[in-house]
Amino acid sequence: MNGFFALLARVLRDPVGVVETTDDPVVLQQRIPHLLAMAAGGAALFGVVVGSYRGGLQVPYAAIKMPLLLWVPVMLTLPATRALWAATGEEVSWRRTSVAGLVAMARMGVLAAAAGPALWLVYSVQPDYHFSVLLLAASLVVVGLPGLTVLMRALPRRGIRTVVAGVASLV
């Protein structure tokens, strides 16, 4: 378990360093379950908080849906990001792109779990539905931007990197 928490600290403090050190297939094989657990567990905890607004069956449903809400956009943008880099003449390996996406998802999951108590506090005063939806969207942007920065910083460092990240975000 010590390896899990050491990796968790590295994902938060130096996510690009985690991407850089996963060129070894054995290290990557050891890290993938931990990164997936961080992403799924953090997003599920955030989903529990979101589901608590309505209560009842929405709590487990939101806990199941929230990892998908955080993962699907990343999974859709990874091929687009790689294709955009290929269009600029820069070759980015599938392994690096996939590991960067996985580390980004893990970071988003951990940050979502950390944002959960603040969201729960606001939900405890029973805000109206429209405000709660806007607050949820804002929370997702706040936890999603650090994940996007991981992808931006882990991929090639040419000047077009920001344009590629912007276009991939629109996808």
Q: What is the pLDDT of residue 168?
A: 66
Q: pLDDT band at 111, cuts 50/70/90? A: very high
Beta strands in the chain (DSSP E): none
Mean local confidence (pLDDT), 122-147:
89
Alpha-carbon distances, residue 18 vs 22, 37, 80, 128, 169 (angstroms):
7, 16, 22, 41, 22
Q: Which amino acid is at 58?
A: Q
Q: What is the pLDDT of residue 63?
A: 92
Token representation of residue 57: 């069956």
pTM, full prediction: 0.85
**Is the confidence at residue 29, as pLDDT, over 80?**
yes
Collect all residues with Cβ–Cβ distance below 8 Å to 47 and sequence separation of at least 6. Answer: 62, 63, 64, 65, 66, 67
Q: What is the pLDDT of residue 131?
A: 92
Which residue reads 């997936």 in tokens?
A: 36
Lowest mean pLDDT segment, chosen from 32-41, 56-65, 148-157: 148-157
Q: What is the pLDDT of residue 13?
A: 93
Q: pLDDT band at 23, cuts 50/70/90? A: confident
- Counting residues of the chain whose pLDDT is more than 90, the rounded percentage is 37
- Helix 161-170 to helix 58-87 angle (10° resolution) is 140
- Using one digit for the tens of pLDDT, what is the confidence trace for 65-96? 999 888 888 788 788 777 777 777 777 788 88
Q: pLDDT band at 134, cuts 50/70/90? A: very high
Q: What is the pLDDT of residue 80?
A: 78
- Counting residues of the chain whose pLDDT is more than 70, the rounded percentage is 90
Token representation of residue 132: 């709660």
Token representation of residue 21: 């050190």
